[in-house]
Structure 1
Amino acid sequence: MSSVHGKSQRNGEGSLPMTPISATDAAGQPLAADAPFFIVMNAGSGRQQADATRAVLERELGAAGRHFEMRVVDDPRQLESVAREAASAAAAQDGVLVGAGGDGTLCTVAHAALDAGCPFAVLPRGTFNYFSRDHGIPADLDESTRLLLDARAYPVQVGFVNERMFIVNASLGLYPRLLEDRETYKRQFGRSRLVALWSALSTMLKPHRHLRLHLEHEGSTTEVSSSTLFVGNNRLQMEQIGMPEEARALEQGLLAAIAPRPVGRLMHLWLSLHGAAGRLSDSDHVVSFTFERIVVTHPSKKRRLVKIATDGEITRLRMPLEFRVSDKPLLLLKPEPAVAQANRS
């Protein structure tokens, strides 16, 4: 690590957010004019990108006379510890913790900001950038860097599965396998959306098993059989796959769960194409519901380890799995709502 200075079943819709947002929060919280920035970047995307990011920071922030520190993480295993060190420094100096990277990197850095109680900002450097795009943060590095200088901090919702945070989505079953296969393809053929799509189609045509899960929600238990359980926390992603009601529910302080009914491989592929075309809600083979908190167990009640994907990162967690909305929001530097909406369109 180096450091540089300078049709669906829905429950619970209409519920209020767990953490009320005051009028001041809704208008955004201004930062001190001299608030320092602590940037954490995962160098997994390449040293060339890290050097380009550093050059823009020195040009834009340096010209404005703003202090910043950039910490480039060479070993992904150190990302969490480096992020927490930077968050501690940001909190102590009334500064801002900034994540530079894709959604997985941003989630790790954002978790450190949430725990430290300091504002969080984003420099999008990933392939899909769902989190930044959903909040209207420009993909252009120069523009997103300039945004740091005059943006306000707005409260945004994050989710948890057990003690692991997610800002875009979390899942178990087939979806984590899709992500693992995608990384294998990317290592062979490079990072692009076309490679990601080809990998997903290849995985869908392989044999896969269905999960039997018990979902405890608002005092009742439902058994679900599905290849995957997908929990979304990103309005843009929900809209893109054709789940507009679930997208709106996210603005009411809820998470959205999607589970395809037990179907064969070809129907799974058909559902995926429906999602890619933004028509998933048209299918009778998908169950969805919204919630603040659910607990997922296995019928055997064993505390088994299961593979979980959170914002593209794979880990293993022990059942039962508790999916929930965080009881406190993340303070995110982003454009004012009207500008964010225009950037998102």
Structure 2
Amino acid sequence: MAVLALLGSALVPLAAAGPRGVLWVLLGVAALALAAAGVWWALAHTGAVRVLGTVLAVAAPAAVLALYAVSGMLLPALVSVALWSLAAVAARTALGAGHAAARRSGRSAAVPPRAPWVLMNPRSGGGKVGRFHLVEKAEAAGCRVVLLDGSRDVGELAREAVAEGADLLAVAGGDGTQALVAEVAARHGLPFLVIPAGTRNHFALDLGLDRDDPAAALEALAHGTEIRVDLGYAADRVFVNNASFGAYAFVVTEPEYRDAKAATTLRRLPDLLTGEDAPRLGMRTDGTRVDGLQALLVSNNAYGRVVDAAHPGRRERLDAGLLGVVCVRVTGAAQAADLVARGPRSPGLVRLTAERAVVESGTRTLPAGIDGEHVVLPSPVVCRIAPGALRVRVPRRRPGPPRAATTDWPRVVRLALGRPSADREQGRGRDGRTPTS
């Protein structure tokens, strides 16, 4: 179905307009590129230029859609897009979740802990701790529960629990709190339990936990399995998801950001993207150096998509032993349009994997967002990965990690032709050990 739908999405414009169908497709791509240029002007400038950019971002796609409608190409275009979407969904379904971290990681039956300790943030996720009665359910499962009230350091509380004999550490809260306690668990070789009581809980998503039912994670205490996952480090700070540098990291330093995210971002971005004080970062690994970056994301294992606003935080695995690095270098509207038109092939976007990445800024310190929390680190910042550093306790029954965010079309075609063994013939076993960028 995936292969046939993909072919159909290409053939529909040709069937409707003949060879001119290619021109209609190119016109649509051009509209997206113009919209991207307009978005750049709207974000990087103020005043009349921002208004002009906003108008262009809306008018370019609208004009092309109107032209499609007048020329009788609107229906074929919509059918083509629908077939392409069907192809993507069918391909990911065919590939399945076989590449997911929890299914590939080594598992072992977990012995129930004798003295589990749980730190809960009652304010996280809009009050999920209280809404799902997590304190009562954790105590009924034999856990010692500590509520985070802001008066004590998270790491200090976790270290104190270890000193008092805790043999499992758990967190009901956001990813930032998860990372701080995970560092203590990894240092002492203790199992770690994630209770997804935060707002987004990207780490829980990639572990395959049910974010809509945080209490279900407590089943891992009595009926759980154990997997090994990696941890990322930015200087001496642990991250379970990512460390971001550049424009975003500077925006989150603003005191108004938490209460007015959109307004603060629009106010600060012009200076951060095109102003004299705009950050210009450098990044180097053992074999690569990239300079002049506006934004840089270093993740604990690679994300399947560069930007995925609808489904952020999706990683195919958490045990590859490699950082994912995404570098963004866009200095004008033309490069913004090129980024949309060419995607991963654009020189404004660099993706790679590495065991170690050094972020340079030419300044003594560098703001960073560590799992969504603002920190200031000494520059340059050395980012590294610790393979298999964290023992994670997960329930035996859980939804499972999300399907791969990218589609390996050559493998889809091989499956459609009945030749799945080609993966092994090419030296790329289904465990995915060969990293991709």
- Cα distance between partner residues in 2 of 1:280 and 1:105: 34
1:78 paired to 2:153: yes
- Whose strand fraction is larger, Structure 1's or Structure 2's? 1
Distance 1:252 1:103, change over 3 A: same
Counterpart contact for 2:120–2:147, Cα < 8 Å: yes
Tell me what 2:221 maps to.
148
Deviation per CA, 1:119-167: give whole Å up to 9, x if none.
Answer: 0011112222110001101111232233433121110011111111111
- Cα distance between partner residues in 2 of 1:43 and 1:113: 22
1:329 paired to 2:329: no
Distance 1:77 1:35, change over 3 A: closer
Give the SS at the match of 1:341. coil
Distance 1:252 1:287, change over 3 A: same
- Cα distance between partner residues in 2 of 1:43 and 1:59: 14
- Cα distance between partner residues in 1 of 2:403 and 2:138: 21
Q: Which has the higher contact order (CA 8 A, sep 6+)?
A: 1
- Cα distance between partner residues in 2 of 1:180 and 1:50: 27
Which of residues 319, 325, 329 in structure 1 aligns to 2:379? 319
Counterpart contact for 2:120–2:172, Cα < 8 Å: yes
- Cα distance between partner residues in 2 of 1:127 and 1:47: 7
Which amino acid letter does the alignment assign opposite residue 189 of structure 2? G
Could you tell me how far 1:223 is from its partner in structure 2? Answer: 4.5
Which amino acid letter does the alignment assign opposite residue 176 of structure 2? G
Counterpart contact for 2:324–2:353, Cα < 8 Å: yes
- Cα distance between partner residues in 1 of 2:227 and 2:299: 20
Tell me what 1:289 maps to.
352
1:124 paired to 2:213: no
Which amino acid letter does the alignment assign opposite residue 143 of structure 1? A
Which of residues 301, 316, 328 in structure 2 aligns to 1:260? 328
For residues 92-241 of structure 1, the aligned pairs below 5 Å read 92-93=165-166, 95-139=167-211, 140-180=213-253, 184-187=256-259, 203-205=268-270, 207-208=272-273, 209-213=278-282, 215=284, 217-218=285-286, 222-233=289-300, 238=305, 241=308
Deviation per CA, 1:231-268: give whole Å up to 9, x if none.
Answer: 022556747639xxx95586532111111114237966
Task: Specify the structure having the higher radius of gyration (Cα).
Answer: 2
Which amino acid letter does the alignment assign opposite residue 98 of structure 1? A
- Cα distance between partner residues in 1 of 2:305 and 2:299: 7
Deviation per CA, 1:297-335: give whole Å up to 9, x if none.
Answer: 34x5x6x11112210111111123211111552111124
- Cα distance between partner residues in 1 of 2:112 and 2:171: 20
Which amino acid letter does the alignment assign opposite residue 330 of structure 1? L
Counterpart contact for 1:232–1:238, Cα < 8 Å: no
Gaps of 5+ in 2: 1-103, 406-437
Give the SS at the match of 1:113. helix
Counterpart contact for 2:117–2:170, Cα < 8 Å: yes
Could you tell me how far 1:342 is from its partner in structure 2? Answer: 6.4
Could you tell me how far 1:48 is from its partner in structure 2? Answer: 5.0
Tell me the TM-score normalized by structure 1.
0.71
Distance 1:249 1:40, change over 3 A: closer
Gaps of 5+ in 1: 1-24, 189-195
Per mean C-alpha deviation after superposition, the further-off stretch among 128-137 and 168-177 is 168-177
Distance 1:101 1:31, change over 3 A: same
- Cα distance between partner residues in 2 of 1:57 and 1:343: 32
- Cα distance between partner residues in 2 of 1:27 and 1:131: 18
- Cα distance between partner residues in 2 of 1:287 and 1:80: 35
Distance 1:248 1:28, change over 3 A: closer
Give the SS at the match of 2:400. helix
Identical columns (%): 25
Tell me what 1:58 maps to.
136
Deviation per CA, 1:55-114: give whole Å up to 9, x if none.
Answer: 34434662xxx421111111165222112222444xx35x21001111111111111111
Counterpart contact for 2:301–2:319, Cα < 8 Å: no
- Cα distance between partner residues in 1 of 2:266 and 2:319: 31
